Amino acid sequence: MPIFYIDERRMQELCHDIALKAFDKDEEPISPYENHSPGLLDASLKAPMQTFGTELYPTLSAKAAILHYSLIKNHPFGNGNKRIATASLLVFLYVNGYWIYEKYSELADLAINIATSDMSDMDNVVNDSREFIEQNMRKLSE
Protein backbone atom coordinates (compact mmCIF):
# COMPACT_ATOMS: atom_id res chain seq x y z
CA MET A 1 0.00 0.00 0.00
CA PRO A 2 1.48 3.39 -0.93
CA ILE A 3 2.26 5.91 1.77
CA PHE A 4 0.61 9.31 1.53
CA TYR A 5 2.80 12.16 2.73
CA ILE A 6 1.99 15.58 4.10
CA ASP A 7 2.72 18.21 1.46
CA GLU A 8 2.48 21.97 1.83
CA ARG A 9 -1.17 22.02 0.75
CA ARG A 10 -2.15 19.38 3.32
CA MET A 11 -0.10 21.22 5.92
CA GLN A 12 -1.95 24.47 5.32
CA GLU A 13 -5.45 23.16 4.66
CA LEU A 14 -5.50 20.30 7.17
CA CYS A 15 -2.71 20.22 9.75
CA HIS A 16 -2.42 23.93 10.51
CA ASP A 17 -6.19 24.38 10.40
CA ILE A 18 -6.78 21.42 12.74
CA ALA A 19 -4.13 22.73 15.14
CA LEU A 20 -5.88 26.12 15.18
CA LYS A 21 -9.29 24.59 15.84
CA ALA A 22 -8.24 21.91 18.32
CA PHE A 23 -5.20 23.26 20.13
CA ASP A 24 -5.08 27.07 19.85
CA LYS A 25 -4.77 28.93 23.15
CA ASP A 26 -5.48 32.61 23.75
CA GLU A 27 -2.33 33.01 25.86
CA GLU A 28 -0.13 31.25 23.26
CA PRO A 29 -1.77 31.63 19.85
CA ILE A 30 -0.59 29.57 16.91
CA SER A 31 1.18 31.70 14.32
CA PRO A 32 -0.63 32.35 11.04
CA TYR A 33 0.34 29.90 8.32
CA GLU A 34 1.69 32.70 6.14
CA ASN A 35 4.36 33.50 8.75
CA HIS A 36 6.17 30.16 8.43
CA SER A 37 9.73 29.63 7.24
CA PRO A 38 9.37 27.87 3.85
CA GLY A 39 12.80 26.21 3.95
CA LEU A 40 12.36 24.80 7.45
CA LEU A 41 8.85 23.59 6.68
CA ASP A 42 9.98 21.97 3.43
CA ALA A 43 12.84 20.18 5.19
CA SER A 44 10.45 18.91 7.86
CA LEU A 45 7.89 17.65 5.35
CA LYS A 46 10.58 15.85 3.33
CA ALA A 47 12.22 14.19 6.36
CA PRO A 48 10.03 11.04 6.19
CA MET A 49 11.11 10.49 2.56
CA GLN A 50 14.87 10.63 3.22
CA THR A 51 17.09 7.96 1.73
CA PHE A 52 20.75 7.08 1.93
CA GLY A 53 21.00 4.11 -0.39
CA THR A 54 17.83 2.85 1.27
CA GLU A 55 14.95 4.46 3.13
CA LEU A 56 16.10 5.95 6.42
CA TYR A 57 12.57 5.66 7.83
CA PRO A 58 11.08 2.53 6.20
CA THR A 59 7.94 2.03 8.30
CA LEU A 60 4.85 4.17 8.72
CA SER A 61 5.59 4.63 12.42
CA ALA A 62 9.20 5.66 11.69
CA LYS A 63 8.04 8.15 9.06
CA ALA A 64 5.45 9.54 11.48
CA ALA A 65 8.05 9.86 14.24
CA ILE A 66 10.57 11.77 12.10
CA LEU A 67 7.84 14.05 10.74
CA HIS A 68 6.73 14.88 14.28
CA TYR A 69 10.33 15.35 15.46
CA SER A 70 11.34 17.50 12.48
CA LEU A 71 8.37 19.84 12.73
CA ILE A 72 9.08 20.41 16.41
CA LYS A 73 12.87 20.77 16.18
CA ASN A 74 13.03 22.74 12.91
CA HIS A 75 10.52 25.21 14.34
CA PRO A 76 9.11 26.45 10.99
CA PHE A 77 6.34 28.46 12.68
CA GLY A 78 6.76 31.38 15.04
CA ASN A 79 4.56 29.77 17.69
CA GLY A 80 2.59 26.56 18.06
CA ASN A 81 5.11 24.16 16.53
CA LYS A 82 4.39 21.33 19.00
CA ARG A 83 0.65 21.65 18.43
CA ILE A 84 1.02 21.86 14.65
CA ALA A 85 3.42 18.89 14.70
CA THR A 86 0.96 16.84 16.74
CA ALA A 87 -1.90 17.69 14.37
CA SER A 88 0.41 16.76 11.47
CA LEU A 89 1.28 13.43 13.09
CA LEU A 90 -2.42 12.61 13.44
CA VAL A 91 -3.24 13.72 9.89
CA PHE A 92 -0.31 11.69 8.51
CA LEU A 93 -1.55 8.59 10.30
CA TYR A 94 -5.15 9.27 9.24
CA VAL A 95 -4.42 9.66 5.51
CA ASN A 96 -2.57 6.35 5.78
CA GLY A 97 -5.46 4.53 7.48
CA TYR A 98 -4.41 4.77 11.15
CA TRP A 99 -5.19 6.80 14.27
CA ILE A 100 -4.01 7.13 17.85
CA TYR A 101 -7.00 6.84 20.18
CA GLU A 102 -7.25 8.10 23.77
CA LYS A 103 -3.58 9.01 24.15
CA TYR A 104 -3.85 12.79 23.88
CA SER A 105 -2.01 13.66 27.10
CA GLU A 106 0.74 11.22 26.13
CA LEU A 107 0.98 12.92 22.71
CA ALA A 108 1.43 16.25 24.47
CA ASP A 109 4.14 14.73 26.68
CA LEU A 110 5.82 13.25 23.60
CA ALA A 111 5.91 16.67 21.92
CA ILE A 112 7.37 18.31 25.03
CA ASN A 113 9.99 15.56 25.31
CA ILE A 114 11.05 16.17 21.71
CA ALA A 115 11.14 19.95 22.18
CA THR A 116 13.31 19.73 25.29
CA SER A 117 15.64 17.03 23.96
CA ASP A 118 19.20 17.67 22.89
CA MET A 119 19.84 17.43 19.14
CA SER A 120 22.69 15.01 19.86
CA ASP A 121 20.09 12.55 21.18
CA MET A 122 17.98 12.67 18.01
CA ASP A 123 18.21 8.96 17.14
CA ASN A 124 17.08 7.86 20.61
CA VAL A 125 14.27 10.42 20.76
CA VAL A 126 12.97 9.51 17.30
CA ASN A 127 13.18 5.81 18.19
CA ASP A 128 11.24 6.38 21.43
CA SER A 129 8.61 8.30 19.45
CA ARG A 130 8.45 5.54 16.85
CA GLU A 131 7.90 2.94 19.57
CA PHE A 132 5.10 5.01 21.15
CA ILE A 133 3.42 5.50 17.77
CA GLU A 134 3.82 1.85 16.79
CA GLN A 135 2.34 0.64 20.09
CA ASN A 136 -0.61 3.03 20.00
CA MET A 137 -1.63 3.44 16.36
CA ARG A 138 -4.69 1.48 15.29
CA LYS A 139 -6.20 0.84 11.87
CA LEU A 140 -9.19 3.08 11.30
CA SER A 141 -11.38 0.06 10.58
CA GLU A 142 -10.70 -1.44 14.04
**Do 129 and 89 meet the contact criterion of CB atoms below 8 Å apart?**
no
CB-hemisphere CA count at 13 Å for 67?
29
Tell which phi-psi region holds residue 38, choosing left (phi > 0), alpha (psi between -120 and 50) or beta. Answer: alpha
Work out the number of other CB atoms within 10 angstroms of the CB of residue 80. Answer: 21
- What is the per-residue pLDDT across 111-123, written as a single tens digit (0 to 9) for each? 999 999 999 999 9
Q: Round to whole Å and give the CA distance between 109 and 106.
A: 5
Work out the number of other CB atoms within 10 angstroms of the CB of residue 54. Answer: 6
Whole-number Cα distances in Å, 54 to 49, 50, 64: 10, 9, 17
pTM of the shown model: 0.94
- What is the per-residue pLDDT across 83-117, written as a single tens digit (0 to 9) for each? 999 999 999 999 999 999 877 889 999 999 999 99
- What is the per-residue pLDDT across 52-66, written as a single tens digit (0 to 9) for each? 999 999 999 999 999
Closest listed residue to residue 10, CA positions, set 131, 97, 95: 95
CATH architecture of 8-26+41-139: Up-down Bundle (1.20)
Question: What residues contact residue 93 under an 8 Å CB cut-off, 6+ apart?
Answer: 60, 64, 99, 100, 133, 137
